[in-house]
Structure 1
Amino acid sequence: MTRHDIPALHVSSESFKEGQTLPPAQRSGKMRAGGQDESPQLGWSGAPAGTRSYTVTMFDPDAPGHGGFWHWAVLDLPAGVTSLPAGAGAEDNRRLPPGALQLKNDAGFHGYLGAAPPPGHGPHRYVVTVYALDVEQSGLDAGTSPAKLEAKLAPHILGRGTLTGIFERH
């Protein structure tokens, strides 16, 4: 199966809609973007047969510098989990299912970091991706870089879906 043949998952959120501006809850407070660093509520459906776990990420491809900016990565979500509540990306992991693992974001901590583009840099896209995988455990640990995540998961991806929010700081 090539990357283009991967079946699409349907990803939705009560926190924001496709292409809409991220609300303050999903913006960063830590990076002074007037937000609360609360990961969005997410739901997904349409996983192919054989799905044994999910991975969820949020990435800003428009961030300055080389390679964008990883805001969130959570691995090893059980196959029976098809949604996450708002705030599931808290550093304490209390709102994630047992066994789920958060990687360090590019700000250096395990958990969700809200949108925080540089002021005057223009609109940034925040791409939430849900991957359906054919393994229960990714075999990765908390020290894995989110930038290397897709390559490491590639042989196990059965389905993938995205939801993109926008944010610009003036």
Structure 2
Amino acid sequence: MTMEPAGTPLDPMTETALRSLKDIALPPAVSWMPQTWGWAVLAMILALILAAAFLLWLRRYRANAYRREALALLAGVEAKIRDPETRQSGVQDLAVLLKRVALAGWPRTDVASLAGAAWVKFLEAHGDRTNSQALQAVLDDLEYHASKGIGATQPNTEAELIAGAHNWIERHHVSA
């Protein structure tokens, strides 16, 4: 196989044949649009399902805004409960916070008058049944203790009290 140098003229017949050649004809580009109406309908159904799922998520997100706000407030109450000097007001603030959360989730007529054992039963009925014993004991006896008795909780019950409140705020069940 010998290659002819670039400067060598070609045979006139070969030159004529090369000039008469046309470039390769490329097919038109394939469209990304669906070719049948079935794919368009499927795309519309999928878009509607996604829109409905987004709207349901948004509705649930907005409905749980009071929970997010209560959990943020619980952080401040937690600091008060952990400090022995402010524990009394912290426990009272915790009781107020739980009542506010309940009022946000249920009608005022069902929640506002609850106190003592009835209040604890309400929390148990609408929680996930894992509320701490410390939370139940403090809320049940809160209105009957003197102010000084509230601050005398045991140090290990502080964490249990806060965890029980956090658990109830996060997981209580509100009927639709």
Q: With the length of structure 1 as denominator, give the TM-score of the two structures.
A: 0.26
Q: Which has the larger radius of gyration?
A: 2
Choose between structure 1 and 2 for higher RCO, CA contacts under 8 A separated by at least 6 residues.
1
Q: With the length of structure 2 as denominator, give the TM-score of the two structures.
A: 0.26
Q: 1 or 2, which has the higher helix percentage? A: 2
